[in-house]
Amino acid sequence: MSGMSKIVKTITSISIPFILIYGLYVIAHGHLTPGGGFQGGAIFASGLVMVLVAYGSVWTMEKIKEKNLTMLESLGAFCFILIAFLGLVFGTVFFNNYLVGSNSIFGTVPAAGSGLADINTAGVIPLMNFAVGLKVIAGLFAIVLVMAYAISKKEEK
Amino acid sequence: MNALEFFVVNSPIFAVAIPLLGAFLTPIFGMINDKLRNVFAIFIMIITTGIVFALSYDVVTNGIRTYIFGAQDLSLPVVRILFEVDAMSCFMAIISVILAVVALIYSWAFMKENTGLDKYYTLLLLMTTGMLGMELTGDMFNFFVFLEITSISSAALVAFWINRGKSVEAGFKYIVISTIGALFVLFSIALFYGQYNALNMAIIANSIQFTFLDKIALVLLIGALAMKAGIVPLHMWLPDAYSKAPSSVTLVLVAATQASLYGLLRLCFTIYGNMITLSPVSIGWLLVLFGIVTILLGVIMAIAQTDLKRLIAFAAVGEIGYMILGIGTGLVTMSPSISAAGLTALKGGIFHIMNDALDIGLMFLVAGAIFYATRETSLDRLGGLARNMKYTTAFFIIGLLAVSGLPPMNGFASKLLIYESTYQLNPILAIIAILASILLLAIFVKVLHSAFLGPALPRFNEVKEVPKSMLFAMAIIAGIIIVFGVFPDIIITNIVEPAANALVNNAGYISKILSLTGGA
Distance CA B243, CA A129 (A): 40
Residues A26-58 have pLDDT tens digits of 988 888 888 888 899 999 999 988 988 888 888
- For residue B346, the SS3 value is helix
Contact: B21, A92; criterion CB under 8 Å: no
Query: Does pLDDT of B254 surpass 70?
Result: yes
Query: Does pLDDT of B223 surpass 50?
Result: yes
Query: What is the largest distance, in Å, between two alpha-carbon atoms of chain B?
Result: 75
Average pLDDT score over residue span B324-352: 83
Query: Does pLDDT of B278 surpass 60?
Result: no
Whether A46 contacts A39, CB under 8 Å: no
Nearest CA distance, B415 vs chain A (angstrom): 42
Which pLDDT score, from 0 to 100, does residue B513 have? Answer: 79
Collect all residues with Cβ–Cβ distance below 8 Å to A70 and sequence separation of at least 6.
A138, A142, B27, B118
B24 and chain A in contact, CB less than 8 A: yes
∠ Cα B70 B47 B509 (to 5°): 50
Collect all residues with Cβ–Cβ distance below 8 Å to B308 and sequence separation of at least 6.
B367, B370, B377, B378, B379, B382, B447, B451
Torsion of CA B333, B339, B341, B347, to 10 degrees: 100
- pLDDT band for B520, please (50, 70, 90 cuts): very low
In this complex, the residue of B17, B25, B71 whose CB is nearest that of residue A85 is B17
Residue B346 buriedness (CB in 10 A; 0-12 / 13-18 / 19+): buried
Task: Name which of B477, B351, B496, B362 is nearest B419 in CA terms.
Answer: B351
Residues of chain B neighbouring A99 (CB-CB closer than 8 A): none
Residues of chain A neighbouring B15 (CB-CB closer than 8 A): none
Which pLDDT score, from 0 to 100, does residue A157 have? Answer: 64
Count CB atoms within 10 A of the CB of residue B49.
18
Highest averaged pLDDT of the listed ranges A99-108, B275-284, B445-454: B445-454
Contact: A94, B122; criterion CB under 8 Å: no
Distance CA B24, CA B227 (A): 30
Q: Positive or negative CA dihedral for B149, B150, B153, B155?
A: negative
Q: CA separation (Å) from B174 to B158, B168, B312?
A: 8, 10, 18
Contact: A81, B20; criterion CB under 8 Å: yes
Domain boundaries in chain B?
A: 279-486
Residues of chain B neighbouring A96 (CB-CB closer than 8 A): 70-71
Task: Name which of B247, B256, B17, B240 is nearest B120 in CA terms.
Answer: B247
pLDDT: which is higher, B151 or B163:
B151
Residue B200 buriedness (CB in 10 A; 0-12 / 13-18 / 19+): buried
Contact: B67, A94; criterion CB under 8 Å: yes
pTM of the model: 0.90
One-letter amino acid at B264 equals L
Nearest CA distance, A77 vs chain B (angstrom): 7
Residues of chain B neighbouring A71 (CB-CB closer than 8 A): 27-28, 31
Instruction: Give the chain A residue nearest B81 (alpha carbons).
Output: A95
In this complex, the residue of B25, B69, B70 whose CB is nearest that of residue A78 is B25
Query: Does pLDDT of A1 surpass 60?
Result: no
Domain boundaries in chain A?
A: 6-110+120-156
Instruction: Give the chain B residue nearest A72 (alpha carbons).
Output: B28
Distance CA B158, CA B167 (A): 6
Instruction: Give the chain A residue nearest B31 (alpha carbons).
Output: A71
Suggest the residue from A79, A83, A90, A94 to mutate for an interface test with chain B (most B CBs closer than 10 A): A94
